[in-house]
A = this chain, B = another copy of it.
């Protein structure tokens, strides 16, 4: 018989997809260059040339049997070794091959990380604003996602709300810094406080609480800074990484799980991911994608356009009187709407062919997200449109 849960899910439309599809349709009418489509978080810069060159070389020179052969279910051993070495050198944490599990992007990484440290019935906490796909990611494991109220001052963590939400049933906390949708980077101070609370609660409840850190935007940080690395602050932690944004390879579905060597059972956690895979049909990411990223470790696409775009938008939004926290990274900005209801606000913007995503799905009301992974030229052309929209609709 047809599964009713998945059948019922078909009715529920993803607002980001709906808006993105609308933008495409509208583009067909008036020319896509005239639609200021800030809906979708799809990288707008090409992948690093080193990646393309490395893959072409493999296809030309390598034995196809080796190149396209089964990779071990934990990932190509040499690739895992290289990723571990890279992380060791970069973060000073003694990762070894056994701590790395290759995945199909961050979604695959989170799917595995959640399953190795929770059981069905457990609770997982995350912090608003949050990536809405975390809900199916967590709930489909059999665990339950609880969203902690946002810190609306700076979109760091609302520690009071966090402490209140904690309870014995919480087995994992899922964070995302640099953050989609706020663009905020968690400060050292935030990560220290978060870790202190987690350690205290581990003692109080008598079990580990794992920190699962979703880091696809790790390399997109502004003002020449680096994002503080969560696993430096907390031992029972698992980093989930994707090359989708740093190398502009979202379609290639390549990332990894990196288990903190100091975590409880760190010798087996990544290996357990291989057991999870058997049940969810992953096996491993494409062998050539694994080899491709191994050949370009530490390289990124030219990501500077995102900072340029952010500055343009931040300036005009603050000038127009929007309440907005300046993003420290990513390609998102998350200003407060000029009226209470975000959907009404975003609908009004649509009349100007400005495609903004209302915040309700991200766990806070009254904000909107702009994904500025588009050409700077288009951002520039959108500025008079934003001004016109705000002036005509809100008299500013």
Contact = CB atoms under 8 A, between A and B. Distances in A.
Interface string A48-67: 00001001100110011101
Interface residues of A, number: 78
Contacts of A289: 286
Contacts of A140: 278-280
Contact of A252 (B44, B276, B287): B287
A98 interface: no
B286 A208 contact: no
A69 B373 CA distance: 13
B282 A251 contact: no
Contacts of A136: 275, 278-279
Contacts of A278: 133, 136-137, 140
Contacts of A286: 251-254, 285-286, 288-289
Interface in A261-305: 264-265, 268-269, 271-272, 275-276, 278-289
Given A1-B171, A269-B2, A287-B251, A52 B70 contact: no
A5 B107 CA distance: 22
A69 B250 contact: yes
Contacts of A254: 286
Contacts of A250: 68-70
A6 interface: yes
Nearest to A106: B281
Contacts of A56: 56, 59-60
Report how many copies the assembly holds: 2
B6 A115 contact: yes
Contact of A107 (B71, B111, B281): B281
Contacts of A141: 279
A181 interface: no
A6 B110 contact: no
Interface stretch (A29-37, A116-124, A329-337, A361-369): A116-124
Contacts of A108: 281-283
Contact of A283 (B42, B105, B279): B105
A283 B253 contact: yes
What are the 4 tightest A-B residue pairs by CB atom distance, in nearest-first order?
A140-B279, A111-B281, A251-B287, A136-B278
Interface of A: 1-7, 9-10, 42-47, 52, 55-56, 59-60, 63-65, 67-71, 103-105, 107-112, 115-119, 133, 136-137, 139-141, 171, 207-208, 248-254, 264-265, 268-269, 271-272, 275-276, 278-289
